[in-house]
């Protein structure tokens, strides 16, 4: 049980979040909240179901991966106290903790909040963590530091009513330069810095790409603007998210991302809808405070000359893990964290080293590592020695030796095969047999336990995702090999192509075949992806095909990595966007809750939020009556038109104009006090009519909703 007295010194909104989570848990445990409904709630508070029964994963939301050493230490202490003591660094620059008891989640959040770390909207159908180049602010190639912009976007959309219950998640990314180290090309919103001069003044802005995504159907983002002014990035995102919330698919989860909406409508029509929405958004421009992100430099900058523990390893480390910042005579050092896993005691020791030699501003990286900054030249040998003693001075950061892998079947419900054991084995193969490629190769290896791409396998030159192969009654653990993804030197992004599926125990041999073939046959200076494109995927299918012969499998090939018995495929249900099994009366109560939130926002003079909550009340109440007549509900737009057909045209409800014109006033009028008040009153009147109509329908019994119908 959380000690609520600990919350007194916190921000009111944070304290409210934690108390509400505690209350919802109690209601769930006493049967007052349905399991599926509770699941949707807890996901937006960072509490995610784990493969193992009775425990959860707790995910934090850390914008652009920025942490202080104090925050890292607190995360470590919390993991020791409430979990198995492991911190898992993700490709979204977050930290996850596993084996968390549900009852402990409010206490974990409370202790993390004391140092400014939140779990709000870390999972669920929300604007997820905003990622960025880990070297933003020190990148020699950057035009300006994107960090303050990421922070501003994060703060603007946190708890924003327009993005709490979308059809699916939204993932934004900011790159520090054209090299696109943030992989903006596969994000819903991707930002790359731009500067132009107008009348002798330097104007900042961004190239903006939209509608990208990985997963089963990967799509490269399209360019919405070659230049959008810095004051317009948040207004554009707000308008775009409102369009996504209203028009986005909700029934077919695998088609519910923004990339599919843009593909369906076409970029031009989608942009027109976004432009139409601009009238109603909260702010027509949002100025960014460029001074919000500062790095606290280490107390000591000059260090005595010392010998390094291993000169050759030190030189390799300098070559692959260290670069000089744009701030001359300062260096950035990158730390490889194998599998993204760091135990609490190691994390605390690492925090002490960072505080001593680098800025108190570490950044988690998209390849599950840690980036340090503002290290003086004289401090580098000292830093290397201490990192070596801790086991964190391995050369080869973000190279072929540094494999990105999701947790796979270790903890994830959706995983098909084990990622971590295979990644460890391949790293051994690279270190022992291909060490000469570490400093000179452009190849990156990434893997996921399923096709959902948490390990970003489709953005790798060599990628793998979990699958299976059948041999009569037996199921063989397998990996689908994909080739040709990643970012070229000029910043152009590529999506990998599927080549062949192989048993997991033969994947190390497939890596050997690919690398040997590349070394033996590539032209001088030819990058791997160029070599792949020149030969085509049929060529690579043919050289790997002998490994696909399942008739020659040994007994151990039927085991997955880390297993000692035959593979049993056990795929659970993912929780990123659950569906609800409910009754109409409960849904109507949701509409009442939206009205309450609209009133609360109005009293705080937040007209825009009040209007959006009133809009949500219209949609939820209309949906309840449609579901009472077994009418499927998918998009908000569909609910509006179906309500017109089933309830207005039949004479059960009457409006001076149409239901659509009443509800969609919100994108045709400015967010003012008068309109917020008028719209709230209309929503209240409509809700009362819905209650009256529902009472006529009941006949003493509420109606259970067909699960597949309740998606919007």
pLDDT digits (tens, 9 = 90+) for 356-392: 999 999 999 999 999 999 999 999 999 999 999 999 9
Q: Say if residues 679 and 611 touch (Cβ distance below 8 Å).
A: yes
Global pTM exceeds 0.95? no
CA distance to 43, 188, 590, 626, 650, per residue, from 634 (Å): 21, 21, 17, 11, 21
Residue 712's pLDDT is: 55
Residue 569's pLDDT is: 63
Taking alpha carbons only, the member of 470, 466, 483, 446 closest to residue 560 is 466
CA distance to 79, 393, 636, 652, per residue, from 679 (Å): 47, 60, 18, 21
The residue ranking higher by pLDDT, 415 or 401, is: 401
Q: Say if residues 208 and 224 touch (Cβ distance below 8 Å).
A: yes
**Structure tokens given for 336:** 């490889």
DSSP annotation of 84: S
CA distance 382 to 85: 28
**Average pLDDT, stretch 650-672?**
94
461 has a pLDDT exceeding 90: yes
Q: Where are the alpha helices (DSSP H) in 311-419?
A: 311-321, 344-357, 380-390
Q: Which residue carries 């009040």 as its tokens?
A: 610
**Average pLDDT, stretch 694-712?**
60
Query: Hey, what domains does the chain have and what are their CATH numbers?
Result: 4-113 (3.90.480.20), 146-280 (3.30.413.10), 296-339+358-398 (no CATH), 404-558 (3.30.413.10), 584-709 (1.20.120.330)
Q: What are phi and psi of 21, to 5 degrees?
A: -60, -45
CA distance 339 to 579: 32
Residue 696's pLDDT is: 85
**Average pLDDT, stretch 245-263?**
91
Q: Measured in Å, how far apart are the chain's first and last C-alpha atoms?
A: 34
581 has a pLDDT exceeding 50: no
Q: For 646-655, which contacts have Cβ atoms below 8 Å and span 24 or more sequence positions?
A: 647/622, 647/693, 652/693, 653/686, 653/689, 653/693
Q: How confident is the model at residue 5 (pLDDT cuts 50, 70, 90)?
A: low
Residue 304's pLDDT is: 96
**Structure tokens given for 144:** 């300006």
Q: How confident is the model at residue 211 (pLDDT cuts 50, 70, 90)?
A: very high
Q: How confident is the model at residue 3 (pLDDT cuts 50, 70, 90)?
A: low
CA distance 92 to 65: 8
Residue 579's pLDDT is: 41
The residue ranking higher by pLDDT, 202 or 9, is: 202
CA distance 280 to 277: 6
* CB neighbour class for 34 (10 Å; exposed up to 12, middle 13-18, buried from 19): middle
**Average pLDDT, stretch 482-486?**
97
Q: Say if residues 163 and 157 touch (Cβ distance below 8 Å).
A: yes
Q: Say if residues 450 and 466 touch (Cβ distance below 8 Å).
A: yes
Residue 578's pLDDT is: 42
């Amino acid at each position: 049980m959380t000690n609520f007295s600990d919350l007194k010194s916190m921000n009111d909104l944070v304290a409210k979040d934690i108390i509400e989570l505690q209350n919802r848990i109690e209601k769930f445990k006493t049967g007052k909240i349905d399991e599926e409904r509770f699941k949707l709630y807890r996901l937006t508070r960072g509490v995610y179901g784990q493969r193992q029964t009775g425990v959860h994963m707790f995910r934090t939301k850390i914008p652009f991966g920025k942490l202080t050493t104090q925050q890292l230490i607190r995360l470590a202490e919390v993991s020791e106290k409430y979990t198995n003591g492991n911190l898992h660094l993700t490709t979204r620059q977050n930290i996850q903790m596993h084996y968390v008891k549900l009852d402990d989640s409010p206490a974990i959040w409370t202790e993390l909040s004391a140092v400014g770390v939140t779990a709000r909207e870390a999972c669920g159908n929300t604007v997820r963590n905003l990622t960025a180049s880990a070297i933003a602010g020190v990148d020699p190639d950057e035009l300006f530091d994107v960090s303050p912009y990421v922070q501003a976007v994060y703060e603007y959309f946190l708890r924003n009513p327009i993005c709490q219950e979308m059809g699916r998640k939204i993932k934004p990314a900011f790159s520090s330069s054209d090299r696109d180290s943030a992989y903006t090309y596969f994000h819903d919103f991707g930002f790359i810095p731009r500067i132009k001069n107008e009348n002798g003044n330097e104007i900042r802005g961004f190239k903006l790409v939209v509608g990208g995504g990985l997963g089963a159907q990967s799509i490269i983002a399209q360019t919405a603007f070659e230049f959008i002014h810095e004051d317009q990035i948040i207004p554009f995102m707000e308008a775009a998210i409102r369009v996504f919330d209203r028009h986005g698919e909700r029934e077919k989860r695998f088609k519910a991302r923004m990339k599919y909406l843009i593909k369906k409508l076409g970029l031009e029509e989608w942009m027109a809808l976004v432009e139409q929405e601009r009238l109603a958004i909260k702010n027509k421009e949002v100025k960014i405070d460029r001074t919000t992100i500062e790095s606290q430099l280490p107390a000591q900058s000059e260090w005595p000359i010392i010998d390094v523990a291993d000169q050759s390893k030190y030189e390799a480390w300098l070559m692959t893990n260290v670069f000089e910042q744009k701030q001359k005579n300062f260096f950035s050092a990158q730390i490889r964290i194998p599998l993204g896993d760091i135990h609490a005691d190691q994390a605390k020791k690492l925090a002490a080293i960072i505080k001593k030699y680098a800025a108190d501003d570490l950044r988690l990286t998209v390849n599950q590592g840690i980036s340090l900054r503002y290290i003086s030249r004289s401090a580098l040998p000292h830093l290397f020695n201490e990192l070596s003693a801790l086991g964190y001075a391995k050369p080869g950061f973000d190279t072929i030796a540094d494999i990105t892998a999701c947790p796979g079947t270790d903890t994830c419900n959706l995983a098909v095969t084990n990622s971590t054991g295979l990644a460890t084995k391949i790293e051994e193969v690279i270190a022992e047999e291909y060490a000469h490629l570490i400093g000179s190769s452009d190849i990156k290896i990434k893997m996921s336990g399923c096709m959902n791409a948490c390990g970003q396998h489709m953005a790798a030159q060599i990628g793998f995702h979990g699958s299976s192969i059948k041999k009569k009654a037996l199921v063989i653990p397998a990996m689908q090999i994909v080739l040709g993804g990643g970012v070229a030197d000029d910043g152009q992004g590529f999506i990998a192509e599927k080549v062949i599926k192989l048993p997991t125990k033969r994947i190390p041999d497939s890596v050997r075949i690919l690398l040997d073939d590349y070394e033996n046959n590539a032209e001088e200076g030819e990058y791997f992806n160029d070599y792949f494109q020149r030969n085509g995927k049929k060529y690579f299918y043919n050289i790997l095909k002998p490994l696909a012969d399942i008739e020659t499998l040994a007994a151990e090939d039927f085991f997955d990595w880390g297993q000692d018995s035959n593979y049993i495929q056990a795929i659970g249900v993912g929780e990123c966007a659950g569906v609800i099994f409910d009754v109409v009366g409960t849904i109507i109560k949701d509409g009442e809750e939206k009205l309450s939130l609209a009133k609360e926002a109005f009293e705080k003079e937040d007209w825009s939020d009040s209007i959006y909550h009133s809009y949500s009340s219209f949609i939820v109440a209309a949906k309840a009556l449609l579901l009472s007549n077994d009418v499927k509900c998918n998009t908000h737009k569909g609910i509006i038109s179906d309500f017109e057909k089933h309830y207005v045209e039949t004479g059960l409800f009457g409006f001076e104009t149409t239901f659509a014109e009443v509800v969609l006033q919100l994108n045709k009028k400015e967010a003012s006090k008068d309109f917020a008040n008028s719209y709230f009153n209309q929503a209240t009147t409509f809700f009362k009519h819905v209650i009256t109509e529902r009472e006529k329908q009941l006949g003493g019994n509420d109606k259970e909703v067909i699960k597949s119908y309740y998606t919007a």
